Amino acid sequence: MNIEAIDLFCGIGGLSYGLLNAGIKVKAGIDIDKTCKYSFETNCEAPFIDQDIKEISGKKLDRFYSEDSTKILVGCAPCQPFSSYTYKKDKTKDERWQLLYEFARLVKETTPVIVSMENVPTLLNFKKAPVFYDFVKKLEEENYFVLYKIVYAPDYGVPQKRKRLVLLASQLGKIELLPPTHTPDRYLTVKDAIGNLEKINSGESSKNDFIHRASKLSEKNLKRIKQSKPGGSWKKDWDDELKLSCHTSEKGKTYVSVYGRMKWDEPAPTMTTFCTGIGNGRFGHPEQDRAISLREAAILQSFPIDYKFADSVENLKFGQTTKHIGNAVPPKLGEIIGKSIIKHLEDYSYGKK
């Protein structure tokens, strides 16, 4: 089968790279953030289209597919409007809220055989402005069989405690996500993922890999990380003089994981767009007195160790790359989605269903 995919909101290519590893050709990636172009094109070997999805037609997308291909349309719309951090705000004022409707429009205009969408689980909670349920309804109106479920990333070999909403839809019939590949006693841990990487200090880069670079800690934050224990908290581990006044307030007392260290023997916490700073979560290295590096964050997202984020150290932008990594779909999860699609197509092609 000639299976071809186009990736909407492709970013640096986490989902596309996973599809490629599963055996699905990626014909193009669409994203409005042109800073993702280098990583996407270099690693996924497909053209990056720097264009607003609202300005793209189904006819334009169809030009990328081969005539004899089985068309797949995938995407992960920006999740910020649906995240737990913005849950109490009026999401409908955020223009990104409308992007799933544009996704649905392109499904109708291109009629792919398979559709897949990945996003944050809180998307299921927005009953007052039910964009996700509208998306499902529009797929069903176009005669797609729709499956959606919340996936725990460690179940599929991602060394990170990440939960994601995965949707699969097919014109052929009922479609399923493959069963978990890992059990809790065999989850990949932080040590499995980054335990063998070269030691570096705060503010340093590896001589062998400029992506293995850690942010520079202030003198006070260096004292804080030195007093932090893996899995511990500032409440128990720090001297009082190192504690922040905002965190000792009633509201701040709930943020026990900030400035914390990861534990070697567990999957990492969810990588965010601020995952290389210790003040933004439990992003301290388990042993070394620093936050995790860009490369470590990428590996914990299940990117391979040689994934390219910049062509030179001069062109590497630390904060931008952290954001790219945190926003990405874990490639291992993308691979499972791809393998699920292939199995589904084979089942129907060979008459098993």
| Active centre residues (catalytic) | 79
Q: What is the distance between the alpha carbons of residues 302 and 298, in angstroms, rounded to a whole number?
A: 6
Sign of CA dihedral 269, 20, 305, 177: positive
- Using CB atoms within 10 Å of the CB of residue 348, give its burial: 0 to 12 exposed, 13 to 18 middle, 19+ buried: middle
Q: What is the distance between the alpha carbons of residues 337 and 168, in angstroms, rounded to a whole number?
A: 8
The three-point CA angle 50-333-258 to 5° equals 90
Can you name the residues that pair with 151 across neighbouring β-strands? 164
Q: What is the distance between the alpha carbons of residues 318 and 112, in angstroms, rounded to a whole number?
A: 37
- Using CB atoms within 10 Å of the CB of residue 182, give its burial: 0 to 12 exposed, 13 to 18 middle, 19+ buried: middle
Q: What is the distance between the alpha carbons of residues 15 and 25, in angstroms, rounded to a whole number?
A: 12
In sequence order, which residues have a C-beta less than 8 Å from that of residue 309 and are 6 or more positions away? 12, 38, 39, 211, 294, 298, 316, 321, 324, 325
Tokens 């944050």 found at: 120
Collapse the DSSP code of 49 into the 3-class scheme (helix H, G, I; strand E, B; otherwise coil) and give the result: strand
Query: How many residues are there in the chain?
Result: 353
- Angle of helix 131-141 relative to helix 99-110, nearest 10 degrees, comes to 10
Q: How many CB atoms lie within 10 A of CB 171?
A: 17
Q: What is the distance between the alpha carbons of residues 198 and 164, in angstroms, rounded to a whole number?
A: 31
